[in-house]
Amino acid sequence: MGHPITVRVFPDLPAVSRAAAEEFVTLAREAIAQRGRFNVALSGGRTPKEMHRLLAGEFREQVDWSKVHLFFGDERYVDPSDPLSNYRMARETLLDLVPVPGGQVHPIPTAAADPVESARAYEATLQAQFGQGVPVFDLILLGMGPDGHTASLFPGTPAAAERDHLVMAVRANIEPPLRLTLTLPVLTAARRTLFLVTGADKRPVWEEIKADPAGAGSRYPAALVAVEAALAVWLVDQSLEG
Ligand code: 6PG
């Protein structure tokens, strides 16, 4: 099954971040009106920070945060206070600055000695929140690495091909190596999948994805998510378009 991917090109990261914040507000309003809550999986890395700051600042009053439930697409297997933690990044740029009820923020656990135990615990969290089966998020935010990874699904790894478990522990070849990630079935089930991708270092892979999304899907997890997702929208900046 291959869906066409929708691409919106912006001049720079601030413009991408503003468009993403606007999408977040719109999708939150729709989900809350239709289902009484807005279930979002946040992305890690650097790119989402500016969008978070806009949501916590200029757009703060446009979201009914009491109805928002925040999850994570992946997490580095470090202490939540570690500078490399995606949870810490989200807490500093968003969670500490908006009135989301504490019980509605669902970090990926990273305390157990065995990361597989934490993966199963997060699966239990997802099923407690969404019921049995594959959770359908209203919005999953994703980035892409220069190697075409997304969340912590890296090219050629077992986790990238996993279609049964909802959450997997992975050993990546970038720092920090140990990570937990939502798997393809979850990342492709969302009502809306929003990729935020900026930076010339990602241009080579982006060119391949644009040229042949389905073909690129066999090489890059980011492309596979995009073509299998119900509705994937890419917000990219000019540095990717040359
Ligand atoms: C992570 C992210 C990862 C990220 C890409 C892009 O934990 O690092 O989930 O998938 O989205 O690596 O990262 P940047 O936004 O820092 O370029």
CA of 216 to the centre of ligand 1 (A): 19
CA of 221 to the centre of ligand 1 (A): 13
Atom of ligand 1 nearest to the CA of 151: 10
How many beta carbons lie within 10 A of that of residue 69, not counting itself? 20
Is 44 touching ligand 1 by the criterion CB < 6 Å?
yes
CA of 66 to the centre of ligand 1 (A): 27
pTM: 0.97
Which among 66, 20, 27 has a CA at the least distance from the CA of 235?
20
Per-residue pLDDT of the chain (242 residues; tens, 9 = 90+): 456 789 999 999 999 999 999 999 999 999 999 999 999 999 999 999 999 999 999 999 999 999 999 999 999 999 999 999 999 999 999 999 999 999 999 999 999 999 999 999 999 999 999 999 999 999 999 999 999 999 999 999 999 999 999 999 999 999 999 999 999 999 999 999 999 999 999 999 999 999 999 999 999 999 999 999 989 999 999 999 87
- Is there a contact between 225 and 187 (Cβ–Cβ < 8 Å)? yes
Q: Closest residue (by CA) to atom 11 of ligand 1?
A: 143
Chain position carrying tokens 């509705």:
231
- Is there a contact between 2 and 227 (Cβ–Cβ < 8 Å)? yes
Atom of ligand 1 nearest to the CA of 73: 9
Is 93 touching ligand 1 by the criterion CB < 6 Å?
no
Residue 2 pLDDT: 58
Testing ligand 1's pocket by substitution, the residue of 71, 88, 93, 149 carrying the most ligand atoms inside 8 A of its CB is: 149
CA–CA dist 152, 133 (Å, integer): 21
Which among 125, 149, 14 has a CA at the least distance from the CA of 72?
125
CA of 154 to the centre of ligand 1 (A): 11
